[in-house]
Amino acid sequence: MNRKPLVAGNWKMNKTAAEARELVSKLSAPLREITDVEKVLCPPFMSIPAMHALLDTSHGIGLGAQNMHWEEKGAFTGEIAANMVKEFCNYIILGHSERRAYFGESDETVNRKLRAALKFDLIPIVCVGETLDQYESGLTAEVVRRQIKQGFAEIDSAAASRIVVAYEPVWAIGTGKASSGENANAVHGKVIRPALSELFGENNAQAIRILYGGSVTASNASEFFAMSDIDGALVGSASLKADEFVAITKAAQASMR
């Protein structure tokens, strides 16, 4: 199964719109040269319209938001709905561990958001991953399996192949301590894809891309992209530096050859 690699930058709560424009001006030309890789930038909401205006389709760079609400509209102060995201973006990050840890997101709310995202034709990047405690207690498989089974409940198999999963062990996020390629590959191939297969059938599960995230840098990216069940990366802090993000995307391209 040929799965096109995807490299997404999660800018988190970094960059004003002016700073975002500056970073995009450094990224757009080199990223345009990198073919065979899907490239996605996920800035804060406030920068999305400005970036949308700068990046026309000839840049081959997708735009994504980092969160949304599951309802379509209404009295939800401070929230953004899927169709509002869709006006500017094709991708949406859902269930990031920071949203789960600091903003009370659960597998159930992730599931509601996922269904809303699919309804509005967004490509969801759904994050799963165990905490350090869970990792040290040997609970990785159990936790990640539950996140997949509950987060992906009642999703139509026909839509499932559009979903992207990001395996991000919480202990590797922002810590500089990435998982090893082999450890991540085992979670992707032995836990996540089998759980997806139970839900959507083997063919659909084989089409779903599973990214690794957690302290990915230009120096360790190739180790991940060389793995058979790792289909790209969700990059946090290294996506804020143009050179690093370009180098990571190039490493994904090189893994295609």
User: Which parts of this chain interact with ligand PGA (CB under 6 A)?
Assistant: 10, 168, 173-174, 213-216, 234-238
- What gap in Å lies between CA 218 and CA 221, rounded to an integer? 6
Quick one: how far is CA 183 from the chain centroid?
19
Nearest-approach distance from CB 168 to ligand PGA, in angstroms? 6
Pick 42 or 61: Cβ nearer ligand PGA: 42
Cβ contacts of 22 within 8 Å, gap of 6 or more = none
19 as an active site residue: the answer is no
Given the residues 98, 168, 223, 244, the one annotated as active site: 168
72 as an active site residue: the answer is no
Pick 38 or 168: Cβ nearer ligand PGA: 168
At 36, phi and psi to the nearest 5? 65, 10
Cα-based distances in Å from 131 to 42, 147, 214: 23, 13, 12
Residues 188/140, Cβ–Cβ less than 8 Å: no
Nearest-approach distance from CB 99 to ligand PGA, in angstroms? 10
Nearest-approach distance from CB 137 to ligand PGA, in angstroms? 22
Reduce the DSSP state of residue 125 to 3 states and report it. Answer: strand
Pick 67 or 204: Cβ nearer ligand PGA: 67
| First vs last C-alpha separation in the chain | 15
Nearest-approach distance from CB 61 to ligand PGA, in angstroms? 18
Residues 92/114, Cβ–Cβ less than 8 Å: no
Reduce the DSSP state of residue 232 to 3 states and report it. Answer: strand
Pick 168 or 204: Cβ nearer ligand PGA: 168
Give catalytic residue positions: 96, 168
